[in-house]
Amino acid sequence: MTKMKIGWIAIFVVLAMLVPLSLFASKGEESSKEAAGGEKVFKVGILGPFSGPSARTGKEFKGSATMAFDAIGWKIGDYKIVPVWIDSQSDPAKATQAYEQAVVQDKIQAGILNWHSSVAVACMEITAKYKIPHLFGFGATEVVNQKFKSDPDKYGYWMFKGWPTPSKLTVSYVQALEDAIKRGVWKPAEKTFAIYGEDTDWGRSFGKAIKGQLESAGWKIVAEDYFPINQTEFYPLLNKLKKLNPAVIAGTSTAPPSISAFIKQADEVGLKSLIIADGLGWVGEWYKLTGKSSNYVIDQIPNWATEKGKEFAKKFKERWGIEPSPSSGGLSYDGTNMFIEICKKVYAENHKLSSDLIYKWVKENLWTGKWGYKDGIVMKNYTCTPETVPDPVVGQGYYIFPVLQYFDGVGKIIFPPEWKQQDLKVK
C-alpha cells in the first residue's frame, strides 16, 4: 500500500471519529438551551433542630414550613422553590458544618428559621462568608444583636430575628409579679429569687436579663445555676433550692425533655417557690410531658388568638399527628410566609430571584420600617426599625407575648391587665 493511500485512510478514520463527537456536542448545546428555557430553581435552606434534644421542635418547623410552601405550590413566579433541610442538631459546631455544606454543595441562595441562640451566633459567620440572606432565625440572645451591630455590612446577612432579645420580653414577668404584690394578690415573705437555665447563649441571656430586672425591682438573688442542654436529672439542684426557699425561681430551657423533667422533679421534691419556666409551652405536648406538676407554673407564650390560627393548628394536627405550639409551629409558619411574601415582592419588581436582590429589598424596606408582614397567625405585625434591627418591634399590635399561668394543661393570662383572664395564684 502506498504512502498516499495510507494517508487518505488515516484522514478518513479521523473524520469518522470526529463526526459523532460534533453531533454529540450539538446535542449537548440543545440540552443546555432546553434547561435554560425551562423552570428555574431557587433553593432555600431551612435551619432547625431536626435531630437531638430539641427534635420535637424541629418537627413543628418542618411541618409548618412545608404547609406554607405547599400553599403556593412551591412556586414563586417562574421559580420552583426547593427546600434544603439543615439539621442544627442543637449544636453550634454541627450546625455551621451543615449550613456550609448546604451553601457549597446544595447551592442554597437564602435561609430561614433557626431555634437556638448559640446556633444563630455561630451560623452568622457562614451567612456572612457566603453572603446568604437569612430571615426569621429564632436565636434571641443579645449576642446576635451585638455581632450584627459590630459590622452590619458583614453580619447583616442574618437579616431579621423571629424572636427579640430576652430583656424585651422578660420584663413582663417582673411586671406581673410586682402587679400582683401591689394589688395584694400575693404577699411573699421575702422578695428573694433564684435563676436556673440551660448553659447556652439563650439560657444565660434570659438569666442575665430577668436577674437584672428583678434586682432593679428590689428582689434579692440567692442562687444562680446553669446546666447542659440535655440534662434531665435535677434532684440535687432542686433540693438545694428547696432549702433556700426563694419566693421565685426563674429560668428556661429550649429542650422539652429537660424543662419537663425539671418541672416534674420540682413537684416531686416539694418545692414551694413560684416557678417561671420560660418555654415550657414551646411544644404542643407539654402537658403530656409534665401533667399536674405544671400547675401554678408561669410561662410566656402567645395563644391561638385568631380563627386563622386555630384553623392552622387544626390542619397541622390532622396532617402531622402532633399538636403545634404557637411559639414553635405558629411562629415558624409566619416566618416562612414572611419570607415568601418578601420573595414575591422581589420577583414582582425584578422578574428575578437572587441572594443579592433579597438582601437589598430587606435592607431598603424591612429594616427601614417601610414594610412589615401583617398577615400572620401569631403576631399582628412583624417589622423592625433602624433602631430595633435585627429585632422585631416589640409591643401591643406588633410582637408581644402575654404572661400565662398553667392549670390542668391550660394557660390563663395573668398579665398584661387588659388581657388578663385571672389573677396570679400561688400554691
Nearest to 388 by CA among 402, 377, 399, 401: 399
Q: According to the model, what pLDDT value does residue 31 have?
A: 27
Q: According to the model, what pLDDT value does residue 18 have?
A: 39
Q: According to the model, what pLDDT value does residue 116 have?
A: 97
Cis peptide before 92 (omega within 30 of 0): no
Q: According to the model, what pLDDT value does residue 37 have?
A: 53
Q: Are the C-beta atoms of residues 403 and 413 closer than 8 Å to each other?
A: yes
Nine-digit cell string for 139 = 436565636
The type of residue at 315 is K
Is the Cα dihedral 148, 149, 155, 161 positive or negative? positive
Q: What is the dihedral of CA 359, 361, 366, 372, to 10 degrees?
A: -120
Count the Cβ atoms, other than its own, within 10 Å of residue 18: 10
Per-10-residue mean pLDDT of the chain, 427 residues long, equals: 41 39 31 49 98 97 98 97 98 98 98 98 98 97 97 98 96 96 96 98 97 98 97 98 98 96 98 97 94 98 88 98 95 98 98 98 98 96 97 93 95 92 94
Q: According to the model, what pLDDT value does residue 180 have?
A: 97
What is the pTM assigned to this prediction?
Answer: 0.85
The type of residue at 352 is K
Structural domains for the chain: 40-164+306-366 (3.40.50.2300), 167-302+401-419 (3.40.50.2300)
Cα–Cα distance between 368 and 149 in angstroms, integer? 15
Q: What SS3 state is found at 292?
A: helix
Could you give the count of Cα atoms lying within 13 Å of 14 in the half-sphere of its Cβ?
A: 6
Q: According to the model, what pLDDT value does residue 138 have?
A: 96
Could you give the count of Cα atoms lying within 13 Å of 286 in the half-sphere of its Cβ?
A: 34
